[in-house]
Structure 1
Amino acid sequence: MAESNKKPIKDRIAEVAGKFAATRFVRAIMDAGYSVISFSIIGSIFLILTVLPKAIPVPGFAAWYVGTIGRFTNLFQSVYNATMGIIALVFSGTFAYSYTKIYRDEEHLSLIPIDGLMMFLMGFFITVAELVWKNGRVEFITLFTKDKMIAGGYQASPLAGIYRIGAVGIFIGLVVAWITVQIYRFTIKHNWQIKMPDSVPSGVANSFSAMIPGFCVAVVMSAINMALVMAGTDLFNVLFIPFSFISDIADTWWGFLIILFLIHFLWWFGIHGATIISSFYSPIVLANMQANVNQGAHHVFAGEILNAFVTIGGSGATLGVAIWLALRARSTQLKELGKVEIVPAVFNINEPILFGLPIVYNIDLFIPFICAPMASGLVAYLAIAAKIVPVIIVQQPWPTPVGLGGYLATTSWQGGLVSIICAIVAFLIWYPFIKHFDNVTLKNEKSNATPDAA
């Protein structure tokens, strides 16, 4: 019988996931996700300054705050609006820049990344203004109510800045960026550009080479938006429908658990599941966190919920494992690994355990690696959904230690306490498996030991 040439299922899954992660679109989104980390953390720091009385419920502190730091809350809000309030521009703009650069490098086209970024900004702002078809002409919407203020087509508020360029506009921005880069690429591939003599300075030549592609972007985006305005809507509202649908699913307990499963299922194959899956949910958690802040919404899936409550110690929620290995493991190998890992684990870094135990491709540790973060995630979800813990309103740095991360994310002691509980729950899932693995490893160490010479 001919020997089967089929690859093992784990190799096929790893191959498919690897190819997906290597696609140009996903790589550009990953770059965009990295770009907003510092912006969101800076904005969150200044947001904390505006909610200090809530974060520090000490008698007399609120009165002291009003007469001191509280006098500058509008300034703090301005900084927040200048970071989280323009996050769609930063996220989608970085995507456009990176996407253009990838095509330039891999297809060897004369694309200029900064031109791709500038064209995206033009195309995106075509969709930002709210228009209406009225009396046979296009008009800017002007509306002043208790809940909404739109002047000259732009909706704004002191708490959110210009509405459509904040986190709520990330998904729309990505679509516009993709269209922009594809138009730019098409025009350059077909040589639709103004070429200047070699004697002309490169800066001047580049500005002229982007003129025809930029004009095409303006025409296409205007035509799409105009057709929708005449139909009684606009591009932003049309694209916001699927984004809201996906966001609603991700914000359910079962949607949240599916996300956690996918992250760790990919990690078990040695693929950075957090990076791949977060490239899709980043727009959702950013938009949800901003809605929690500005609109008083109650979104559980927001901000850095994973690092605050779920992946404590790193992917797989392995903080308790690292501590147990360092203090209680009988195997010399595992005890030494625990000593190496215990400090990084405090800051949610666990590559030594992932590849040192190893967890990757280790069928004996597959169940706790998948189930521990899902269990801690479910505890956190239920606590926030039941309003035992306030919603997440702050983007804390991902290496923030257990307890402090939950406290900062929710600006509440309840968040800090539940964060610690989540770490304990995760370790309870891990305990029987890691103890058994320690016994097996110890047995192997003894059997492989070389007897002393007579």
Structure 2
Amino acid sequence: MKRGVDLMKISDSFKESMTEKVGKFAGSRFVRAIMDAGYSVIAFSIIGAVFLILQILPQAFQIPGFAELYANTVGHFTNLFQVIYNSTMGILALVFAGTFTYSYTKIYQEEEHLNLNPLSSLFMFMMAMFITVPQLVWKNGSVEFVQSLSKTNIIGGGYAVSTSGVTRIAAVGIFTGLVVGWLTVQIYRFTIKHNWAIKMPAAVPAGVANSFSSLIPGFCVAIVVSLLNMLLIFVGTDIFKVLYIPFSFISNIADTWWGFLVIIFLIHFLWWFGIHGATIISSFYTPIVLANMASNKLGADHFFAGDPMNAFVIIGGSGATLGMTIWLVSRAKSIQLREIGKAEIVPAFFNINEPILFGLPIVYNVQLFIPFVLAPIASGIVGYFAVTTHLVDKIIAQQPWPTPIGLGGFMATASWKGGILAIICATVAFVVWYPFIRHYDRVLLKQEQEQEQKKY
């Protein structure tokens, strides 16, 4: 008995320690700013996805006569659709890292009570980011722009371009943008804390005062970023290329089946402690999936692109609980489970399941930990191998995360096969859930019957 009590104390202590440490990490300034950046690109990526799908409608609907009808009508505007796509997905590095910089500065402004201007910080980031965009080389004793007009590598005046726009400010440049944004904020913060700023009289309008107060920090940002870039140019590389190495390495790991499963596990491991694992982990892999999605459109073959989680893995919400929720409503004997199922059934079709997570509950519930983790892993395995073996088309668009089952898979792949795969994945997840939720239902039913008998 004593050993059991000791084990419970150890378990409770571990839960408290884990919750405290992860909560502290999730509440850090950097992570909070990253989360804001992740939210900022949702609308942009969805808008880009819609116009991408409009471009490839004939591929999505291979119906006799449809391709000809499309070519004679909507097909006349495909270049316009490409322009709109470039204006969203083609500038994602600026949007993502720019929002990060703004939010990160605002957090320091509010929490350290510094005279920082988030908008000025954003503009300084834009300047610093564009310092890293042109490709330069040290040649004949001077800095020169790289020029290349080959079919696979078009660089004019140092700027690499394609039909998707300027390469380095698209999704592939998000990681570089984050590092440049972080550096910009830290330089700005350092100069302000040490009073390296031009102070104007109180009578000077705020707009004018702000522009002069950011003059010295702006010079410092430009000089530091330029010097770092110049040092790397001397040795035959630049900031973008150096930062792309770790980004590419991490991206390659995340795109493997085991890397993908680790991500799924971490999301659900954190959720079991009541911490929003999906928000925290997705904040870090968002740059990867966006870059991979843009690469897929250009001919690459990544699985971990767009939003594979909501398309094929966590259908119904974290834990892949859609099938289980339908079972609760239709088959559960326990009053508690049946009522929770009724409250959850509609949100579940839109990948929202907080009523299940906290009402069933799943959070801190040892009896449901295994299916909560294994169900999405099972659906993830099915989705991964279906796409990587080319049974289903690769992901080329990002669907809104609340998109219902089937439709999300279709939008992600622009193929009916994607919709079918989503249904199969949800079914596989339910097969994992079934024995556990059925046993849990019996346990709760027995408890309800015992309580009912005590009344009499």
Please, what TM-score do these two structures have when normalized by structure 1?
Answer: 0.98
Q: Separation in 2 of the partners of 1:363 and 1:8?
A: 15
Map 1:7-406 onto structure 2 (within 5 A). 8-158=13-163, 160-294=164-298, 296-406=299-409
Alpha-carbon distance in 2 for matches of 1:10, 1:373: 22
Alignment partner of 1:138: what SS? strand
Return 5+ residue gaps in structure 2 as ranges. Answer: none
SS of aligned partner of 1:349: coil
For 1:401 and 1:94, the matched residues in 2 are separated by: 29
2:352 partner SS: coil
The 3-state SS of whatever aligns with 2:274 is coil
Q: What is the aligned length? A: 450
Q: Which residue identity lines up with residue 107 of structure 1 in the other structure?
A: E
**What is the CA-CA distance between 1:11 and the residue it aligns to?**
1.4
Deviations 1:41-81 (A, max 9, x none): 00000000000001111111001111110110000000000
- Identical-residue share of aligned pairs (%): 67
* Structure 1 gaps, min length 5: none
Following superposition, the deviation at residue 450 of structure 1 comes to: 5.2
- Letter in structure 2 aligned against 1:89: L
Deviation at 1:451, TM superposition (A): 5.7
Shift of 1:148: 1.4
Q: Deviations over 1:373-431 (max 9, x none)?
A: 00000000000110011110011000011111111100111111111000000000000
Distance in 2 separating the partners of 1:441 and 1:249 = 42
Q: Deviations over 1:74-105 (max 9, x none)?
A: 00000000000000000000000000000000
Deviation string, structure 1 residues 240-265 (Cα, Å, up to 9, x no partner)? 00000000000000000000000000
1:287-332 CA-to-partner distances (Å, cap 9, x unmatched) read: 00000012x0000000010000000000000001110000000011
Distance across 2 between alignment mates of 1:447 and 1:19: 42
Instruction: State the TM-score, normalized to the length of structure 2.
Output: 0.97
Deviation (angstroms), 1:12: 1.0
Aligned AA (1:96): T
- In structure 2, what is the Cα distance between the partners aligned to 1:290 and 1:249? 18
In 2, Cα distance between equivalents of 1:64 and 1:193: 63
